[in-house]
Amino acid sequence: MTAATTQRAGMPDRLRSVVRNPVVIASIIAIALVVIGQIVSPGFGSYNQVISMLRISSFLGIIAIGQTIVILSGGDGIDLSVGKVATLGAIVGARVMDGTDANLAGGILIPLLVGAAIGLVNGLGIVYLRIPPFVMTLGMLGVVQGIILAYTGGAAAGRAAPFLTELVNTRWLLGAPGVLFVWIILIVLVTLVLRRTRPGWNLYAVGSNRTAARLSGIRVNSTVIGAYVASGVCAVLGGLLLLGYTESVFLNLADGYTLPSIAAVVIGGTLIAGGVGGYLGSAVGAIVLSVLQSLLTTLNMPASHRTIVNGVILLVLLALYGRQRKLRS
Amino acid sequence: MTLGVDNRAASSRAVAWIRRVQVASVVTWGLLAAVVLVNAMVQPTFFTLYSITSTFATFVPLVFAAVAQAIVVIGGGLDLSIGTIVALSSVVALKVMNGSDALIGVGFLAALATGAACGLVNGLLTAVVRLQPLIVTFATASVFGGITLVVLPSPGGAVPPAMTQGFRLAFAGIPVPVWCVLVAVLIWLVLSRTKFLRHVYAVGGDAQAAYASLVPVVAVRILTFVTAGALAGLAAMGVLANTGSGDPFIGADVALDSIAAVVLGGIALRGGRGGAIGAIAGAIILALVTNVLFFLNVPTTFRELASGLVIIAALALSVLTTRKGVVR
């Protein structure tokens, strides 16, 4: 794989590695989108507007933490259930909180435990029943949808606790809501855990080569299961923050976040094959996707055209650096 | 592509053939028999002509989508856009036919052409631009879905009456929807004897080895998606015949259901193994599970949970047994 990438001569190595760094490319694209927005519709690039777009990105970004970890764990790892799990988390959270701060702790802890349990089942199925992740989490998608219907009886109840709403919707420091700071802390924390701690190193080792990892004494099974548990927890966390944003809950609140979370990870340069990449890229990927959405909304584009442009731009982004190597290499 | 497939490179065609038979396995057929049996028990009228017609009519689209997905998966890819290709082809055909019986043939051609064109886009992006199929088809699904909404912004429009009525008839004592499933089987049987499909297996098994053995990998990958797209076009005609009107959102569940059908049919998602007959059985199993739950009077709020659990159990069963087959 390295042989193929180093063969393309031309630019000096250092410069090329910076220019070809997906995080750099994605950041440039995000900034370019904001600039285009400012030109087309003055005010799009204003400080408040940017903060507001970042706030929207945070939900996707936090859900994408788990997706990044799962994809890094390799073995065709992917979690198609994150959107539904986030929705379930928000539904359980709204029910437990019931609009009062008194129930806040339970309203956060109980959904997180539910998310962890779903992730645990995913992980156990993938590791011990050896069901491919794509299929296991796809099946889980159906089961979670069923749980949502059985739990709510078709109508969601409850409200977000005022504290949660305030965290997401009220400007706090530097005109930014608390949720942005939560996200920034998470970005630093997740990056540190991935790069500087044993579980993080184990994850990369397991993702790049399971056999080698096993032979080096890494507990591959628990690492993989842990990755899916983390994904369930992060999905619920994203769902809870989204609940703070919307205050009341719908039965399909976060369903649409699954595929964008995968797209964010890919745009951020994490290899679908596992073992290569990091969370910072996914966070920038989430920002790119959210800015793109706001730009298309600002342009007053009808929903149909918006989905077309969305898809085309995603393809262009991927073509820029998501290309796989040639067969003849 | 990944480790662990390298030993498959050496396998001769004979071995590949044995594997193919073995994988279209006992479990798939066992599950199908079980679900048919249970269905017959809970629905006494199951074997009447009327009931067979209406049951088969509902799953004809999924059967064609499953064959399409099977070909892509065997070739080592994955197509998340099949659902929106079905939706786009159906609305294009609807517009072309304009409710007139005389234009049904043109409608078929339009659906096939639309499906094939969408497949061509997928194929070029995966094979020539070399992007991962999962992500490409996710993105193109959004593009095709948007175009669908441009063509038909809201559900409506009338399908030629001859099409909807003909779909409910019986021909030589066998209902037309059953014929449609037989046609899907026949299409697969013909395809599986072609050089193209042998190449698809080779590419799905090990693209590097296939390339080294002078298989035109890029062309095969493109053609794989084009074939799948055309089959999705046929699925679209099934949708129109069954529902009698157009719906731009019709394909929402088709992509994931077709993947579930493929796995139930014993086709490894890694590619290179399995056959579409299994996927057809898988599609039928999926449809009948829903049917059974309906006739068992499971409360609506629990039906989805029950169907999810049944499907996950069935998937686990078919995956587990497929793995054993490989070890042996």
Provide the residue-wise pLDDT of chain A in tens; the chain has 329 residues: 444 444 444 556 777 777 678 888 888 888 998 999 899 888 888 888 889 899 999 999 999 999 999 999 988 888 989 999 999 999 999 999 888 888 888 889 999 999 999 999 999 999 988 888 887 888 888 889 889 988 888 887 888 888 888 888 878 878 788 889 999 999 999 999 999 999 899 999 999 888 898 898 889 999 999 999 999 999 999 999 999 998 888 888 888 888 789 889 988 888 877 888 889 989 999 999 999 888 888 888 888 888 888 788 778 877 776 666 666 65
For an interface test with B, which of A136, A276, A315, A316 has the most B Cβ atoms less than 10 Å from its Cβ? A315
| pLDDT(B3) > 50 | no
Residue in chain B lying closest to A210 (CA): B3
Which chain B residues are within 8 Å of A143, Cβ to Cβ? 305, 308-309, 312
How many Cβ atoms sit within 10 Å of the Cβ of residue B8?
18
Helices (H), B244-299: 254-264, 276-295
Residue type for A6, please?
T
| pLDDT (average), residues B120-144 | 88
Q: Which of B305, B309, B323 to mutate to test the interface with A (most CBs of A within 10 A)?
A: B305
Q: What is the mean pLDDT of chain B?
A: 83
Please, which residues have CB within 8 angstroms of residue A73's CB and are 6 or more apart in sequence? A203, A206, A207, A223, A224, A227, A274
> B32-56: per-residue pLDDT in tens?
888 888 888 888 887 888 888 888 8
Q: Which of A312, A322, A325 sits opposite B143 (nearest CB)?
A: A312
| Contacts A125 to B, Cβ<8 Å | 312, 316
Element (H, E) at A177: strand A176-177
Q: Is the pLDDT confidence value at B1 over 50?
A: no
The predicted pLDDT at position A66 comes to 94
Domain definitions of chain B by residue range:
22-327
CA distance A61 to A55: 10
Which residues in chain A are closer than 8 Å to B140, comparing Cβ atoms?
311, 315
Tens-digit pLDDT profile for residues B266-318: 887 777 888 888 899 989 988 888 888 888 877 777 777 777 787 777 777 76
Q: Which of A317-321, B28-32, B200-204, B256-260 has the lowest mean pLDDT?
A: A317-321
Q: Sign of dihedral through CA atoms B61, B64, B68, B74?
A: positive
- Compute the distance between CA of residue A282 and CA of residue A236 in angstroms, rounded to an integer: 18
Nearest chain A CA: its distance from B318 CA (Å): 9
Q: What proportion of chain B, given as a percentage, has pLDDT over 90?
A: 29
Task: Report the distance separating Cα A169 and Cα A41, nearest Å.
Answer: 24
pLDDT of residue A3: 47
Look at residue B306 in the predicted model and tell me its pLDDT.
75
Q: What is the pLDDT of residue B323?
A: 54
For the domain spanning B22-327, the CATH number is 1.10.3470
Q: Which of A136, A139, A266 sits opposite B308 (nearest CB)?
A: A139
Specify the length of chain A in residues: 329
If you average pLDDT over residues B255-264, what whole number do you get? 84
Could you tell me the end-to-end alpha-carbon distance of chain A, in angstroms, rounded to an integer? 8
Q: How far apart are CA B313 and CA A321, in angstroms?
A: 39
Evaluate if residue B7 carries a pLDDT over 70.
Answer: no
B140 or B134: which carries more pLDDT confidence?
Answer: B140
Q: How many beta-carbon pairs below 8 A join chains A and B? A: 156
Chain A closest-CA separation from residue B187 CA (Å): 27
Give the per-residue pLDDT at A122: 94
- C-alpha pair distances (Å), A316 with each of A43, B136, B140: 26, 10, 11
- Cβ neighbours of B153 in A, within 8 Å: 304
What's the complex ipTM?
Answer: 0.73
Interchain pair A154, B301: CB under 8 A: yes
**Best of A1, A80, A126, A131 to mutate (most B CBs within 10 Å, chain B):** A131
Mean pLDDT for the stretch of residues B237-263? 85
Give B222→chain A minimum CA distance, Å: 15
Q: Which residue of B has its CA nearest to A209?
A: B3
Would you call A272 and B135 a contact, using CB atoms and an 8 Å cutoff?
A: yes
Which residues, in sequence order, are CB contacts of B288 under 8 Å at separation 6+?
B35, B36, B39, B55
Q: How far is A175 from A277, CA to CA, in rounded Å?
A: 32
Please give the domain boundaries of chain A with CATH numbers for all domains: 48-321 (1.10.3470)
CA-based nearest distance B209→chain A, Å: 10
Rounded CA-CA distance A176/A169 in Å is 9
Residues 6 or more apart in contact with residue B145 via CB below 8 angstroms: A307, B84, B87, B88, B248, B251
Higher pLDDT, B169 or B197: B197
Select from A139, A304, A314 the Cβ nearest to the Cβ of B149: A304
Question: How far is A85 from chain B, CA to nearest CA, in Å?
Answer: 14
The bridge status of strand B170-171 relative to strand B174-175 is antiparallel
Closest chain B residue to the Cα of A121, Cα to Cα: B312
Q: Do A135 and B259 touch (CB under 8 A)?
A: yes
Confidence category of residue B326, pLDDT binned at 50, 70, 90: very low
B138: pLDDT strictly greater than 90: no
Are the Cβ atoms of A319 and B131 closer than 8 angstroms? yes
